[in-house]
């Protein structure tokens, strides 16, 4: 059940009732159109059932709300994010440049849904419901790359993460690398691979992301096993910008990286 003290959840339910009433539909009639029973509609509107993304998506379509309910759900999910992460979401959404490096995982903005779900599910402390919420939130973040005037994204990954040998992992990675190839062919996205032949390099100490915002400043995000840190102090950001240049210089050029990604897919298929 949604927590009664969540104002955005209350707002979503109120808007759902308002839109349904304005459309001249009772709960039974509306339920038939969204493939729910009338009693289920009542439970959702009363807060006795959790707010479900698939249901709200369908409700937006049936009620012709212009995506209002899903927009409010995204707002609620943002408020549920850890306090340290909210400023980062704001910075990411207004970014003009994004620079991502990860030595062991595909960066979040380039993950397929199935890859993201597998990564998030490895945290055995999360319920299935929480896993799906986090997957949905991660997919929503990727909307920044599909907007009319998207930011420039430069991502660097280590080739080692492209060569997982476990057979159950192979199909997942094939689709993920195919997605990387498709993304890398967009004019605003550049993906670079640090080849296996490179020995120790500075990026192996951990992942980081840099955002250049509309106000001209840089902000960084660092991840660890428990949480993450948003960095905006000038000395620390300057250090990470220098670290980025070092990592980027170890990687292959864009065209060679794209050819390597295509070779990886071919070798698996």
d(CA 174, CA 166): 12
Domains and CATH numbers, the chain: 7-78 (1.10.260.40), 84-268 (3.30.870)
Q: Residue 226's pLDDT is what?
A: 59
Q: What percent of the chain is predicted at pLDDT more than 70? A: 92
> How confident is the model over 115-122, as a mean pLDDT?
90
The per-residue pLDDT for 151 is: 93
Task: Decide if pLDDT at 40 tops 70.
Answer: yes
Residue 190: what pLDDT?
A: 97
- Read off φ and ψ for residue 13, nearest 5 degrees: -65, -40
String of b and e for 174-212 (b: at least 16 CB within 10 Å)?
eebbbbbeebbeeeebbbbbbeeebeeeebeeebbbbbb
Whether the model clears a pTM of 0.75, i.e. scores above it, the answer is no
Contact in structure between 195 and 252 (CB atoms under 8 Å): yes
Tokens 């220098």 identify what position? 242
Which of 47, 50, 29 is closest to 38 using CA atoms? 29
| pLDDT per position as a tens digit, 155-208 | 999 999 888 766 667 788 889 999 999 999 999 999 999 999 898 888 888 899
Kindly tell me if the per-residue pLDDT of 137 is higher than 50.
yes
């Amino acid at each position: 059940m949604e927590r009664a003290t969540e104002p955005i959840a209350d707002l979503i339910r109120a808007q759902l009732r308002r839109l349904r009433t304005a459309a001249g539909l009772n709960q039974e009639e509306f339920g038939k159109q969204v493939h729910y029973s009338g009693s289920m509609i009542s439970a959702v509107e009363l807060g006795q059932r959790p707010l479900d993304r698939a249901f709200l998506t369908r409700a937006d379509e049936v009620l012709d709300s212009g995506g209002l309910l899903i927009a409010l759900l995204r707002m609620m999910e943002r408020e549920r994010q850890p306090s340290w992460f909210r400023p980062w979401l704001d910075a990411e959404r207004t970014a003009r440049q994004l620079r991502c490096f990860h030595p062991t995982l595909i960066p979040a903005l380039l993950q397929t849904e199935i890859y993201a779900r597998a990564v998030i599910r490895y945290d055995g402390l999360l319920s299935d419901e929480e896993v799906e919420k986090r997957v949905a939130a991660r997919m929503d973040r990727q909307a920044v790359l599909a907007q009319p005037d998207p930011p420039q994204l430069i991502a660097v990954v280590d080739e080692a993460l492209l060569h997982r040998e476990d057979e159950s992992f192979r199909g997942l990675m094939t689709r993920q690398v195919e997605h990387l190839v498709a993304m890398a062919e967009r004019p605003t996205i550049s993906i670079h691979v640090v080849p296996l032949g490179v020995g120790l390099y500075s990026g192996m100490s951990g992942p980081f992301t840099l955002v250049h915002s509309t106000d001209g400043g840089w902000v960084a995000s660092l991840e660890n096993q428990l949480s993450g840190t948003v960095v905006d102090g000038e000395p620390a950001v300057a250090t990470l910008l220098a670290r980025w240049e070092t990592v980027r210089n170890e990687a292959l050029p864009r065209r060679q990286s794209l050819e390597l990604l295509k070779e990886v897919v071919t070798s698996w298929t």
